[in-house]
């Protein structure tokens, strides 16, 4: 109040809260580091936790809507806290593979192989596995771990191509099996 008894507005702060109690935009203290700390236990349980669910979680817990980018950054930081940095993990891979070969004398390590094809089919899987046998290894006793795609099953069961037992053993990925049950 001034000396004349009139009110004087010296600073105006916009009212960001609507009548429902939720703020219309995010809060500067809800940084990606802060959000990462909030969601680290959820990421530990489910690393595939969706970014959209991070946004919803923060909104439910604090009443603020964070940006998709901030939620994405937070999720990646939480993943790094739980599982470690991707680059550092990749750098450790040769040391891990060397230890594996020392403990399991028959272990052979192969490079990752991939093919870019129009889609998964019997023909594309036949092509891929034929190329593996021709260009990567002719070694017997290999174990191929995969999902249950019909094209893979077909290609692995072709007689005379080197993928049937006892030349190779086909097993299903535990994660894929669990998701199919």
Same domain, 134 and 156: yes
Question: Is the per-residue pLDDT at 24 higher than 50?
Answer: no
**Do 31 and 55 touch, CB atoms closer than 8 A?**
no
For 56, phi and psi rounded to 5 degrees?
A: -65, -40
Q: How far apart are CA 84 and CA 75, in angstroms?
A: 13
Domain count for the chain: 2
What's the pLDDT score for residue 85? 84
Local structure of residue 103 (DSSP, 8 states): H
Instruction: Find the domain containing 64 and state its range.
Output: 12-107
What's the pLDDT score for residue 126? 94
Same domain, 57 and 77: yes
**End-of-domain residue from the set 72, 107, 142:** 107
Closest CA to 57 of 77, 79, 41, 76: 41
- pLDDT tens column, 95-142: 888 888 888 887 777 666 778 888 889 999 999 999 988 888 888 888
Tell whether 3 is covered by a domain: no
Q: How far apart are CA 16 and CA 12, in angstroms?
A: 12
Same domain, 38 and 96: yes
pLDDT band at 2 (very low <50, low <70, confident <90, very high): low
**End-of-domain residue from the set 46, 79, 107:** 107
Question: Is the per-residue pLDDT at 180 higher than 80?
Answer: no
Same domain, 31 and 65: yes
**End-of-domain residue from the set 107, 125, 145:** 107
Tell whether 121 is covered by a domain: yes
Same domain, 120 and 154: yes
Same domain, 131 and 51: no
- pLDDT tens column, 54-101: 999 999 998 999 999 999 999 999 999 998 887 887 788 788 888 888
Tell whether 6 is covered by a domain: no
Same domain, 74 and 114: no
């Amino acid at each position: 109040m001034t000396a004349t008894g009139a009110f004087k507005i010296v600073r105006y702060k916009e009212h960001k809260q609507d009548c429902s109690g939720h703020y219309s935009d995010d809060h500067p203290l809800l940084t990606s580091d802060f959000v990462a700390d909030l969601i680290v236990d959820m990421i530990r349980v489910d690393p595939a936790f969706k970014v959209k669910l991070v946004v919803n979680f923060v909104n439910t817990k604090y009443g603020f809507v964070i940006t998709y980018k901030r939620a994405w950054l937070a999720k990646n930081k939480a993943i790094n806290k739980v599982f470690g940095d991707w680059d550092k993990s990749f750098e450790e891979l040769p040391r891990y593979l060397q230890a594996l070969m020392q403990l399991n004398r028959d272990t052979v390590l192969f490079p990752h192989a991939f093919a870019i094809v129009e889609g998964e089919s019997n023909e594309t899987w036949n092509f891929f596995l034929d190329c593996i046998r021709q260009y990567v290894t002719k070694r017997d006793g290999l174990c191929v771990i995969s999902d249950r795609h019909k094209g893979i099953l077909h290609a692995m069961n072709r007689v005379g191509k080197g993928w049937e037992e006892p030349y190779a053993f086909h097993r299903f990925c535990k994660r894929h099996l669990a998701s199919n049950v």
